[in-house]
Each structure stands twice: as structure tokens, then as C-alpha cells.
Amino acid sequence: MSKDSKFTLRFSIGDPNGLQSGEWRIWSESGKSDVYLAIRAIGGIHKISLHASGVCNSSITRQFAEAQSNLVSPETGSRHLDQWVRPVNSGPLLSIPLRLRFPSTELRPGMGSRLKEKEKTWVSPPPSGHTLDVICNFTSQPFPSGQWPWCDDGGSLLGSTDLPNGETLWLVSRIYLTPPTLLSHIEQQRKRASLPPGTRLLIGETGPGNVRIITDAASSLHRANNEH
């Protein structure tokens, strides 16, 4: 893809006729090296920004902040819920600011519109007891044709785009056994949030290497595939 082209990837984990995650959109504007992510269910409320400068933000949107001014920091006026920094143009090293995490227990029957299903990429769900991560990788190192980051470690390529600043964004999925501690953490956050059934719950945390991890969880207690 040309470095001046607009990039958009819409995807869900699961089956269009069965259990699935929320619908995610990852995009960059033409001629820009900033990358944005949002989940459709709360796209007008929350957005993640991975800027070309290396500054990364998890924020409520400007429109939502104007409607809900009490959510803006009274001290700084900031809409940011979290801020961190990633290395830029790191040569042969991968710069990984973000992982989106999709445990098999959190897939639910689809409830949204299917008018634009043809524009969305469906990613096969992880097996029972496993979790799928979508990893945002930035690198200025070229890869041979047919290869990508994590290619030799079982990673599957979802999409990529060359950015004007000389980096390439690689979106790669990997599957692994779900840690028991993750399931208990989701249960704690689910009870605390008390969201209505059918909505999605985003759980953020900081992983090794200052990588932010966003878990796409479900609000209801029903478990997919009778998992316990």
C-alpha cells in the first residue's frame, strides 16, 4: 500500500452467524502516520491514538467530553484516560504499544447491524480455553515478501500499511492458553462495571515492556461454549 494511502481495517473475532467479539476499527488518514483504534459499540465515546511522535493516548472523544464535561480532568482539562510513549523508528526492533486481547470466554451472539458485513474481516476464534491477541507492531525494518513480525512464532497477519514516517504498521494475531488470573480479573471488573447485557466491557492494563493491553470482554455472565 502507498505511504500516502488511507488505511482502514474493520474486524471481529468469531463467527458472523455465531459467537463473536465487538467490532473493531483500526485506521490512519492519507498522508498521516498517526494510527487510531476504536470499538464500534462505543466509537463515539472512546478512542485510542498511536501518534507518529510516539505519544499514545486512550481518551474519551471530544464530542463526548463536551456532552459529559464531568469526565474531563478539572485540573488539566484533559480527555486522556491513559498516556504512554513508544519508541519510534527503532530500526530492526519492534515497537509494540498495544495489544487487543480476546478470550474465548468473552465471545457472545452478535447483536449489531450486518449491513456492512462484507467490509469486515472475520478472524477465526481461539479454541476453548484460549485467548487471541491482536498485536500492533511498528517497525522501520523491511521484511521479505511473504513474511511479517511473529511469522515464525505462529503469528497470523491481519493487515499492514506503510506509513509516511518510514515505519510499517503490522497487525498480527497470536493464540495462547488463557491464564486463570485473567478470568478472575475479568469477573472482578464485570461485577464492578454492572453494564447491561449485550454491551462490551473494555479492561485496560499495563503489561511487560510498558505495552498497554485492552481486553474486549462481555458484560453478561453467560460463558461461551459452556466454559467455566
What letter would DSSP give residue 195? P
More confident residue, 136 or 4: 136
Percent of the chain with pLDDT over 90: 66
Contact (Cβ atoms closer than 8 angstroms) between residue 173 and residue 149:
no
Contact (Cβ atoms closer than 8 angstroms) between residue 208 and residue 92:
no
Residue 130 has pLDDT above 50, yes or no: yes
More confident residue, 114 or 21: 21
What average pLDDT does the segment 217-223 reach? Answer: 75
Non-local (6+) Cβ contacts of 5 within 8 A are 30, 161
- Spell out the domain ranges in the chain: 7-226
pTM of the full predicted structure?
Answer: 0.88
pLDDT, residue 215, reads: 97
Contact (Cβ atoms closer than 8 angstroms) between residue 123 and residue 12:
yes
